[in-house]
Structure formats: C-alpha cells, structure tokens
C-alpha cells in the first residue's frame, strides 16, 4: 500500500467524489479512473526508487563497518582507540541506515 503525500491524498479524495458524482449521474468515469491510476503508478515508482536507494545505503554502511573492523584488527596499539571510535561510528551509521530501510521491507 503506497504512502501518499498530503497533496496526493487531497487530489485522490477530490477525484473519488468527482467520480462518485459522475457515476450517480450515469456518466463515464474513465478520465477520473485514469488520473487515479497515474497518481498510484507515480507513487509506487517513487517508493521503489526510494527503497533501492535505502537498501543501497545499508549495503554501503555494511561495507564501511566491515572495513572499520578490519582496520581495528590491523591497528597498532597506539591507534586502537581511534580505530574503536571509527568502528563505533560505522556501526551507528549502519543501524541508522537499517532503521530507514526497514519501512521498505
């Protein structure tokens, strides 16, 4: 089920009322149905693109977290603290990206 913006919700409501009036009057509602279909197709397309982008961010964050962990393992004792901080930051970024992407799964 797509999540419509406020403008799309208002437009859809107006079109539903218009279509109901036309149907009660015995007139054709094809134009109204076509506009409703176009709104839904645009919304579904936009949500698909947003989902792809969100999942791409998750993959990118996972790669960065893995690279930070490898850098921690390879770090000298003097550099371990900064490497731990980098791992912590990368894992926080990963969790943030997963929370955003969760709504598209």
HSE at residue 1, side-chain half, CA atoms within 13 A, is 0
Q: Is residue 1 part of a domain?
A: no
Task: Give the domain extent around 59.
Answer: 6-102
pLDDT at residue 103, as a whole number: 86
Residue 37 lies in a domain: yes
- Segment 24-73, tens digit of pLDDT: 999 999 999 999 999 999 999 999 999 999 999 999 999 999 999 999 99
Phi-psi region of 84 (alpha: psi -120 to 50; beta: other; left: phi over 0): alpha
In a domain, 33, yes or no: yes
48 within domain boundaries: yes
Total domain count, the chain? 1
pLDDT of 1 above 90? no
- Asked whether residue 93 is assigned to any structural domain, the reply reads yes
Residue 53 within any structural domain of the chain: yes
pLDDT value for 73: 95
Round to the nearest angstrom and report the end-to-end CA distance of the chain.
Answer: 12
Whether 88 maps to a domain, the answer reads yes
Residue 74 lies in a domain: yes
């Amino acid at each position: 089920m797509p999540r419509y913006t406020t403008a799309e919700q208002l437009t859809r409501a107006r079109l539903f009322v218009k279509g109901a009036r036309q149907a009660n009057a015995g007139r054709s509602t094809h134009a109204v149905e076509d506009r409703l279909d176009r709104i839904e197709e645009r919304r579904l397309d936009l949500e698909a693109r947003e989902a792809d982008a969100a999942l791409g961010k998750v993959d990118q964050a996972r790669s960065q977290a893995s690279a930070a962990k490898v850098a921690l393992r390879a770090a000298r004792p003097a550099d371990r603290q900064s490497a731990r901080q980098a791992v912590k930051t990368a894992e926080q970024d990963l969790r943030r990206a997963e929370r955003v992407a969760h709504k598209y799964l």
